Amino acid sequence: MLVDDDLKARMVRWRHHFHQFPETGFNEHRTADYVASVLQLLGLEVHRGIGGTGLVASLRAGDGPGVIGLRADMDALAMAETAPDRPHASRHAGCMHGCGHDGHMAMVLGAAQLLAQRPDFDGTVRFIFQPAEEHGRGAGAMIADGLFERFPVDEIYGAHNIPGLAEGHVATRVGGIMASEDNFVIRIQGRGGHAARPHMAVDPLVVAAEIILALQTIVARSVDLGEPAVVSCTEIFSDGIRNALPSNVTIKGDTRSYSPQVQALLERRMRELCQGICSAHGAQCEVEYTHEFAPTVNWPQCVELATAAAAAVVGADQVDGDVRPMMISEDFGAFLKVVPGAFVFIGNGAVGSAGGVPLHNGAYDFNDGILPIGARYFAELVRRRLPARTAGAGT
Ligand SMILES: [Zn+2]
Ligand SMILES: [Zn+2]
């Protein structure tokens, strides 16, 4: 299924429009209007307002029962673009598509046009546009709003452009491909006192120091060496008087991992260590542990389809089916907790090339050259998973 020059030009136009008018998570009103208008022009019925600004459109061909979901994310970042001379530069000060979600939308819309124009499949495709990926809240909001009850899918697929991966290369893996992110706040309450009379006090700073070091033993001594994980303390503050021992110390930080089991282990060990150390010193402790992003864990049978579809589009020599996982997090993981599916990386350009500027950098830009690859990849998934019945089948 090839992308002609006309569709290529349309995808670039869509992408540049999104880039010029970026909107942050759950504020993607104009973005969703534009996405909806493109889908409606293709003849699809669009359902708006799912999980806030999210939307879904379905395309049916034949009477097959299979349903595939293709997902794009719509939000931009609250950061300034540092390339104002770019013809399609952001017109919203302090807001930019610094993660390439403008390109992701254009790719899925491109697939919608390819499939609507030539519906050579048997079943249903759902185009799912989610809000607020950057906050890790949009997928959950759509699911909580009944996304999969109203629009069931058998499998769901997504992609992210990756600067540093050669243009048009596709990479994925079975299992954890992107990390979970959890945040924690540890509040230690001791008993303040004069800095010169520590025996009269319970010094929460000494307790905090012990906790910070002990937290490093979770990865070093509790997690299986074959399982990647990170525990990082990133902030510490106290009551803040120089000649007094504080009563309160707060430690903040974040953890990453690739499996729900390790994620649960990190939380459990953190709580045990904090309680144990605090009680050994006569201090009180409260641990607040919040789940920001689920790990993105690819389903084996879906990775098989994803690598075959990618190979059909870019050639097997440009597909890596066992890429190293990335420690960054992705909201797509929330979908994969409830529905089988697979997430792939599409190369935005090697380091040093125009597409190699890192994500979340003010000079970053999505590489328009990979739009047709993304569109064809998504369409190919559908053709392969929901093959059209040949004439005469069943007789
Ligand atoms: Zn991002
Ligand atoms: Zn992103």
Same domain flag for 62 and 108? yes
Q: Is residue 390 part of a domain?
A: no
* Å from CA of 19 to ligand 2 middle: 14
Annotated catalytic residue, options 23, 73, 75, 365: 75
Angstrom distance (rounded) from CA 204 to CA 285:
10
Q: Is 75 a catalytic residue?
A: yes
Residues 141 and 186 both lie in one domain: no
Domain containing residue 164: 5-177+295-385
Candidates 206, 353, 217; CA nearest to 280 is 206
**Residue 268 maps to which CATH number?**
3.30.70.360
Residue ranges of alpha helices (H) inside 197-337 are: 204-217, 260-281, 300-314, 332-336
Domain CATH number, residue 76: 3.40.630.10
Same domain, 171 and 320: yes
User: What is the model's pLDDT at position 41?
Assistant: 97
Residue 164 forms part of a structural domain: yes
3-state SS, residue 312:
helix
What is residue 3's predicted lDDT score, i.e. its pLDDT?
80
One domain for residues 48 and 129: yes
Instruction: Among 263, 293, 323, identify where a domain stops.
Output: 293
| 77 and 125 housed in the same domain | yes
Q: Are residues 90 and 41 located together in one domain of the fold?
A: yes
Which residues are bridge partners to 256 per DSSP?
A: 181, 230
User: Could you tell me which residue, 389 or 231, shows the higher pLDDT?
Assistant: 231
Q: Does residue 391 form part of some domain?
A: no
Tens digit of pLDDT for each residue in 171-219?
999 999 999 999 999 999 999 999 999 999 999 999 999 999 999 999 9
Active site residue 235: no
Any domain includes 394:
no
Predicted model pTM: 0.88
Q: Are residues 166 and 105 in the same domain?
A: yes
What are the tens digits of pLDDT across the range 58-107? 999 999 999 999 999 999 999 999 998 999 999 999 999 999 999 999 99
| Domain final position from 272, 293, 314 | 293
* Ligand 2 midpoint to CA 5 (Å): 27
H/E stretch holding 249: strand 248-257
The CA distance from 319 to 298, in Å, is 16
Cβ-contact 166, 312 below 8 angstroms:
no
Average pLDDT over residues 129-136: 96
- How many residues are listed for the chain in this entry? 395
Give how many domains the chain has, as a whole number.
Answer: 2
Work out whether strand 123-130 and strand 67-73 pair parallel, antiparallel, or are unpaired. parallel
Q: How far, in Å, from the CA of 144 to the mean position of ligand 1?
A: 22
For residues 223 and 278, state if they share a domain.
yes
Q: How would you label 342-371 residue by residue, b for 16+ Cβ within 10 Å and e otherwise?
A: bbbbbbbbeeeeebbbebeeeebbbbbebb
Q: Which residues contact 392 (CB under 8 A, 6 or more apart)?
A: none
Asked which of 293, 325, 358 is the last residue of a domain, the reply is 293
The reply to whether 31 and 168 lie within a common domain is yes
243 lies in the same domain as 94: no
Strand partners, 157: 70, 342
What are the Cα distances from residue 278, in Å, to 32, 135, 215, 250, 352?
50, 32, 13, 13, 50
In a domain, 395, yes or no: no
- The pLDDT assigned to 1 comes to 66
The CA 25 to ligand 2 mean position distance, Å, reads: 12
Question: Which residue among the candidates 28, 122, 133, 167 is catalytic per the annotation?
Answer: 133
User: Structure tokens of 391?
Assistant: 């004439």
Instruction: Report d(CA 217, CA 213) in Å as an integer.
Output: 7
How many Å lie between the centroid of ligand 2 and the Cα of residue 379? 21
Do both 327 and 274 map to the same domain? no
Q: Say if residue 208 is in the same domain as residue 314.
A: no
